[in-house]
Amino acid sequence: MAVTILFLGPLADMAGAESKDVEAPLDWAGLLEVVGSDVADQLTQERVNIACDGRVLADKTALNAKDGDEVALLPPVSGG
Amino acid sequence: MKDVRLLTEPFIPGAFVGPFTQANPGLGGVCTFVGEVRPNKDGQGEGQGEGQGEGQGTKDDWGVEALELSHYEPLTLPGMEALADEAIARFDLMGLLMVHRVGKLRVGEPIVLVSAAARHRRGAIDAVDFCMDHLKAAAWFWKREKRADGWHWIEPREDDYADLARWDKGP
């Protein structure tokens, strides 16, 4: 098992993929290392959120993803 | 009654609003908003989403070939459900219908439908306004449009964020 990182919206273009599997566990520092510098720059901005296992993290730097978790990177939204 | 849906295929708003109205006997008023993919200013070819501001297009409005809405399954529908619950409580609604499309859309297709039933008109009208402001700038959707030079991601305008902030100040 591993941690699956999902790139939502424009982050998928930036990452060049919609998802990426990495070794568990995965914390904030580890995430910034594996996503590439462009996406990492976005992640450090306040307007980008992170969900782990289907829940949006109140403090994304507290990320602690385990085997089988899905980590979704959520850029600013636009609906309607 | 609360009816919240994510749809992957085109829909006919009336087919939802009719039964919704019937399901809320004794209501005083129903308010409905339907957002559609807007045609270009010149009325030819295809356009972009309702989300880009009705009637205040720029040159970027020209030459849009398609609109695509993506979402994140674990968050999007639960988020819409929570928004609906909040609106029902805040505006004392009898019922709320909220339908949002995902996937690829063409000009003229409905993107979003919100319909609120209440005993008094003000609650119904304000509830729809509240839900639309949140769906446009605070729900888990990502929107992009295809023009001749490729796909472009759309972010809410400053006006959309300002509209959303109105609701923080209390009704």
Q: Determine whether the interchain pair A78/B156 forms a contact, defined as Cβ–Cβ distance below 8 Å.
A: yes
- Per-residue pLDDT reduced to its tens digit, B146-164: 888 889 999 889 999 999 9
Q: In A, which residues are within 8 Å of B137 by CB distance?
A: 77-79
| HEC sequence for B58-104 | CHHHCCCCEEEEEECHHHHHHHHHHHHHHHHHHCCCCEEEEEEECEE
Question: pTM for the complete prediction?
Answer: 0.90
ipTM over 0.85: yes
Phi, psi of A55 (to 5 degrees): -125, 135
Q: Is residue A58 assigned to a domain?
A: yes
Domain CATH for A45: 3.10.20.30
pLDDT digit string (tens) for B87-143?
999 999 999 999 999 999 998 899 999 999 999 999 999 999 999 999 999 999 999
- CA-nearest of B64, B32, B71 to B149 is B64
Please give the order of strands across the beta sheet that includes A19-22.
A19-22, A3-7, A70-74, A49-52, A55-56
Taking the CA atoms of A19, A22, A24 and A26 in sequence, report the sign of the dihedral they define.
negative
Residue A80 lies in a domain: no
For residue B143, give the nearest of A51, A70, A79 by CB distance.
A79
Report how many domains make up chain A: 1
As a whole number, mean pLDDT of residues B31-45 equals 73
B140 CB neighbours in chain A (<8 A) are 74, 77, 79
pLDDT tens digits for range A56-76: 999 999 999 999 999 999 999
Distance CA A21, CA B9 (A): 31
Which architecture, in CATH terms, is B2-11+30-46+63-166? Alpha-Beta Complex (3.90)
Residue A26 structural domain: 3-74
To the nearest 10°, report the CA torsion of B164, B79, B68, B36.
-60
Residue B50 has pLDDT above 60, yes or no: no
Residue of B nearest to A54 (CA): B74
Residue B3, pLDDT above cutoff 50: yes
Alpha helices in A16-56 (DSSP H): 28-34, 37-43
Closest chain A C-alpha to B22 CA, distance in angstroms: 26
Query: B71 near B141, Cβ under 8 Å?
Result: yes
Contact A53, A24 (CB under 8 A): no
- The helix (H) or strand (E) run that includes residue A65 is strand A64-65
Q: How far is A15 from chain B (nearest CA, A)?
A: 15
Is 90 exceeded by the pLDDT of residue B52?
Answer: no
Contact residues, chain B, for A77 at CB < 8 Å: 137-142, 156
Task: Quote the pLDDT of residue B66.
Answer: 86
Tokens of A22: 């990495």
